[in-house]
Amino acid sequence: MMPNERKSGKITTDARVKAGGNDPQIRALWRKRCADFWREMNIYLRDVVRSGFPGFVLLFAIVASIGYGQILKGITSDFPQAWITVPVLTVALASGRPRTFLKDADTMFLLPAEYRTSGYFQAGFRYSLFINAGLAMAATIVVWPLYAHVKGSEAVPFGWLAIMILLLKWSNLLASWHESRMTAKPARIVYTSVRWGLNGIVMAALFHYGMLPGAIAALLAVIVTGGIIAAAPKHRIAWSYLIELEKRQLARHYRFYSWFTDVPHLPAQAKNRTWLMKPLTRIVPMKQQHTYLFLFTATFVRGELFGIVGRLSAVAALIVAAMPGTGAKAVAFGIALAITGVQLTALAEYHRHVFWLKLYPASEAQRIPAAAGIAGAALLVQAAVLAAVWACSPGGPAWPAALAVAGGVAWAAAFRALLARRLRRKQQRAS
C-alpha cells in the first residue's frame, strides 16, 4: 500500500494497478515459475537429444531444403503461390496464446491480490511474444523463397514483410489475451473465428495485391477486432479459463515428449490393440517357461513404447523415402535402427519392481532372454518396413534394399545378444 493511500484510508483501482505492475514479489513469482517449467522441460529435452531425433530433423531439413530449391526451379510466374503462403502465415499469425504458468491454487492465493498481478501477466505476454514472433518469422522465411520467386520484382521487400508480420503477430497475441477475458464461451468462439478469417484476408491482400492493400486490410482488421473486444463483456482476469488453457499447453508438451520417453505426468494407459495382440499372443505357447515372453510381448504391444517405436519408424520411413542416393538412404536407415535400439533398452526395466511377479512360479532367468528377444524382434520388423519403403521409393535400384534387410537382421541379432549381456552384468552387480 502506498503511503498517501494509507493516509486517505482508501485505495483507488488505478493506484492498485499501478502499484501491482511493479510488485517485485509478483515478478519474482513469474520468474520462478518460468524457470521451474524450463528446468522440467530440460529433463525431457535431454531424452529427446539422446534419442537422436534432432539429428533426424536436421537431416530432413537439409533434404527438404534441397528439394525445395529443385522445385522452385520448375515453377513459373503464373504459379498460385498465395494458395500456399496465405494458409501457412495465417496459421502462424492467428495461433498461439500468452503463457501464464498459472496453477489451480492461484484461485485461492493470487485471486485476492488480482490488482497486483498486472506485472505477472505482462511478463507472460513478453515471454510469449518472443517465442511466437520467432515461430512466425520462421514460417515467413520458409515461404519467402516461393513468394519472391513467383512475384519477382513485384514482391514486397523482405524487411518490410518481416516488420508487418511482427506487428501482426503482436496484435494477434494481444487480441488472444483479450479473447481469454471474455465471459461467454460463444463470444470467444465467434471472436476467434472472426480473427482467423481476418488474418486470412490480410495475408491474401498482402501476398496477392502488395504492401499497401495488405496494410489497409490489416488496419481494418485491427479496427474490427478492437470493436468486438470493446463490445464483448469481459472479466478483468479469467482465472479459471487461463488455468485450463495452461493445463492444455502443458499436456501438449508432455504428449510431445512422450514420443521419446516416459512422462510421469501422463497416466500410463494400456492400449487394447487387439488387432496385433491376438495374433502375437497365439504364437507364444501357454507354458510356464514362456511367462516373461508373454508378459513382455503384451507390455510392448499395449504400452507407450510401441507408440514411440512406431512414430520413430514413421519419421524414418519418410526420411528414407525422401533421401536422394543410396548412401544417404543407408545412413538414414542405420540411424533409425540405432535410435530405436536405444529406446528399446527400456523394455527390460518394466516390471522389475512388481511384487506379484516374485510370487508367481516363474524363473527370474527368463526375464533377460524374453526382454532381449522382444526388443530384437521389434528391430527386425522395423528394418523390414524401412527396407520395403526403400525398395518402393523411386530414383534408384532395389538391390540395396535387400542388403538393408540383411543388415537389419544382423543388427537385430547383435542387439539382442548385446542387450542380454548387458542385462546379465547388471543383474550380477545388483546381486
**Alpha carbon distance 199, 217 (integer Å):** 9
pLDDT score at 4: 43
* pLDDT value at 354 more than 70: no
All three cell numbers of 228: 468486438
In this prediction, residues 69-82 reach a mean pLDDT of: 83
**Alpha carbon distance 247, 147 (integer Å):** 38
Q: Per this entry, what is the length of the chain?
A: 431
Give kind and range of the element (H or E) at residue 52.
Answer: none
Top pLDDT among 18 and 247 is at 247
**C-alpha to C-alpha distances, 431 to 25, 57, 348, 425, 427, nearest whole angstrom:** 52, 42, 17, 10, 6
In this prediction, residues 330-349 reach a mean pLDDT of: 79
Can you give the pTM of this predicted structure?
Answer: 0.66
Q: Closest Cα partner for 318 from 330, 332, 306?
A: 332
**Alpha carbon distance 146, 89 (integer Å):** 13
Greatest mean pLDDT range, 12-21, 371-380, 386-395:
371-380
pLDDT-above-90 percentage for the chain: 19
pLDDT score at 20: 47
**Alpha carbon distance 93, 204 (integer Å):** 13
**Alpha carbon distance 410, 389 (integer Å):** 19
pLDDT in tens, 138-196: 999 999 999 998 888 888 899 999 999 999 999 999 999 988 888 888 888 888 899 99
Q: Closest Cα partner for 225 from 186, 183, 184, 168?
A: 168
Q: Closest Cα partner for 162 from 141, 142, 147?
A: 141
* pLDDT value at 203 more than 80: yes
pLDDT score at 26: 81
**C-alpha to C-alpha distances, 4 to 8, 11, 40, 50, 119, nearest whole angstrom:** 6, 9, 43, 58, 22
Contacts of 59 (CB under 8 A, 6+ apart): 319, 331, 332, 335
Q: Are 23 and 116 in contact (CB under 8 A)?
A: yes
**Alpha carbon distance 186, 318 (integer Å):** 41
Packing angle of the helix pair 24-51, 326-344 (nearest 10 deg): 110
Top pLDDT among 295 and 84 is at 84
